[in-house]
């Protein structure tokens, strides 16, 4: 009975995920589901990325957090349309939550939809939101042992952004070993190395180009 | 029906939590449930803390991770009895998982049981494992906005350890503002400031003293 209910929840999620997927396809939108631990730097990465994407593609963001609209305010300040979801304790976004937000966007005008999930390296990996791909953001400060200890997210993601590379000199992390461990888990994963710290930004251009290429390829408006 | 099942799961958890609580009480053990994001520095804090507690109290550890026995190996190297739980995708420990490990320890000889939860700032806060208190570990690098965005864990914890204070000069975090935001959510919470980085260890002695006092007060063997 417990399993039946879980199956029910997953089926409901898949139903809405399919609806979202259809909405993205009908409007030529490339959708990414951005996940990672709290403080991996997801919102800062998006702010910095939108700086590069400005004038090149039309983006929008769905923001997920337990509470507050702080991240949405930061994205709105970049001139990007954004809707905040507060899960009020919920540990991940589900496809129904995202479906409810889509009516709030001018979808035919968009090329790229970024869904920033609740900060959590575990649960969000299990839920399809209708996205084309999951992108994992991880701070170097989380430590080199995390890929092996939290393999689910690394298996689910098409790309991983190793963020806060500016802190490498001050922490005991072997970045090359970390990348090897990631590729041991998922040999197909694309790895980016970034720093989004003011005055020390690097690598974000490559990540922005990646999104641009994906959204451009997908978009009927390109 | 969904609510019934959730209630069932929570009742099962409470049943085992009560059993664990009784086992800890019968053996004069103070039990803490340590939670926090992946990479907050939970295991390193424990390693450093056990260095201070050596010869003062008898400790043991239950380690929770999705996969690998790496953390258990690190704790065992400190000379502390440890049992690793692999949740295989599960986002938190539950009381039944912990109950199953207790037979593997020499409980009458212990003063302090540390349960290190799966790295996750959200889900572990909702599950009672039979512990006396929850202790939240948070890396300063996670950013000052996390208390307001993830209030559940801060509400559930009796103490929070703000770790990786050695990195303060290199990150854009206002530690005083962060502490104020934590106290706004939970005015009763006890705050520790620590660095566990080799050669730059500080604050861990105060945290160790706190555990010593709690375990000493509780222990019939003290």
Rg (CA), chain A: 17
ipTM of the shown complex: 0.90
Please say if the pLDDT value at position A57 is more than 70: yes
Q: What is the pLDDT of residue B8?
A: 81
Residues B19-35: what's their mean pLDDT?
Answer: 98
Tell me what the pLDDT averaged over chain B comes to: 94
pTM: 0.93
- B141 → closest Cβ in A8, A67, A141: A141
State how far the Cα of B68 lies from the Cα of B90, in Å rounded to an integer.
Answer: 13
Residue B191 in contact with residue B162, Cβ under 8 Å? yes
B164-180 residue pLDDT tens: 999 999 999 999 999 99
Residues A23-49: what's their mean pLDDT?
Answer: 98
The packing angle between helices B95-102 and B2-26, to 10°, is: 30
Please say if the pLDDT value at position A20 is more than 90: yes
Residues B62-70: what's their mean pLDDT?
Answer: 96
With b for 16 or more beta-carbon neighbours within 10 A and e for fewer, the A145-169 pattern comes to: bbbbbbbbbbebbbbbbbbbbbbee
Q: What is the pLDDT of residue A2?
A: 55
Residues A178-199: what's their mean pLDDT?
Answer: 97
Rounded to 5°, the CA angle A132-A133-A138 comes to 155
Kindly determine whether residue B89 and residue A123, on different chains, have CB atoms separated by under 8 Å: no
Share of chain B above pLDDT 70, in %: 95
Residues A137-163: what's their mean pLDDT?
Answer: 96
Which range marks the domain in which residue A186 is found? 2-218
- Collect all residues of chain B within an 8 Å Cβ-Cβ radius of residue A171: 167, 197
State how far the Cα of A157 lies from the Cα of A117, in Å rounded to an integer.
Answer: 13
**Distance from the first to the final alpha carbon of chain A:** 49
State how far the Cα of B122 lies from the Cα of B150, in Å rounded to an integer.
Answer: 7
Please say if the pLDDT value at position B220 is more than 70: no
For position B79, which CATH number holds? 3.40.50.300
State how far the Cα of A33 lies from the Cα of A71, in Å rounded to an integer.
Answer: 16
Residues B43-64: what's their mean pLDDT?
Answer: 97
Kindly determine whether residue A148 and residue B120, on different chains, have CB atoms separated by under 8 Å: no
Which of A98, A125, A115, A134 is closest to A18 using CA atoms? A98
Kindly determine whether residue A149 and residue B67, on different chains, have CB atoms separated by under 8 Å: yes
State how far the Cα of A95 lies from the Cα of A113, in Å rounded to an integer.
Answer: 14
Please tell me the total count of domains within chain A. Answer: 1
Tell me what the pLDDT averaged over chain A comes to: 94
Kindly determine whether residue B119 and residue A146, on different chains, have CB atoms separated by under 8 Å: yes
* Edge-to-edge strand ranges of the sheet holding B133-139: B82-86, B59-65, B112-116, B30-35, B133-139, B159-163, B190-193
Query: If 0-12 CB within 10 Å is exposed, 13-18 middle and 19+ buried, where does residue A178 land?
Result: buried
B112-163 residue pLDDT tens: 999 999 999 999 999 999 999 999 999 999 999 999 999 999 999 999 999 9
Q: What is the pLDDT of residue B222?
A: 43
The packing angle between helices B204-218 and B42-53, to 10°, is: 70
Residues A11-38: what's their mean pLDDT?
Answer: 97
Residues A57-64: what's their mean pLDDT?
Answer: 97
């Amino acid at each position: 009975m417990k399993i039946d209910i879980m199956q029910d929840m997953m089926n409901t999620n898949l139903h809405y995920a399919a609806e979202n997927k259809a909405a993205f396809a009908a409007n030529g939108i490339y959708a990414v589901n951005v996940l990672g631990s709290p403080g991996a730097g997801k919102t800062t990465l998006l702010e910095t990325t939108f700086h590069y994407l400005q004038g090149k593609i039309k983006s929008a963001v769905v923001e997920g957090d337990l509470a507050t609209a702080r991240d949405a305010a930061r994205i709105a300040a970049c001139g990007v349309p954004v809707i905040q979801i507060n899960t009020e304790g919920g540990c991940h976004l589900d496809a129904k939550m995202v479906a409810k937000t889509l009516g709030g966007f001018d979808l035919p005008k968009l090329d790229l939809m970024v869904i920033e999930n609740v900060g959590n390296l575990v649960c969000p990996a299990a839920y399809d939101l209708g996205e084309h791909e999951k992108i994992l953001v991880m701070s170097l400060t989380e430590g080199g042992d995390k890929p092996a200890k939290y393999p689910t997210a690394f298996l689910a993601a098409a790309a991983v952004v190793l963020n806060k590379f500016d802190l490498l000199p001050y922490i005991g992390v072997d970045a090359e070993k970390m990348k090897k461990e990631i590729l041991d888990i998922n040999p197909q994963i694309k790895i980016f190395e970034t720093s989004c710290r003011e005055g020390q930004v690097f690598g974000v251009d490559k990540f922005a180009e990646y999104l641009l290429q994906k959204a451009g390829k997908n978009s009927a408006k390109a």
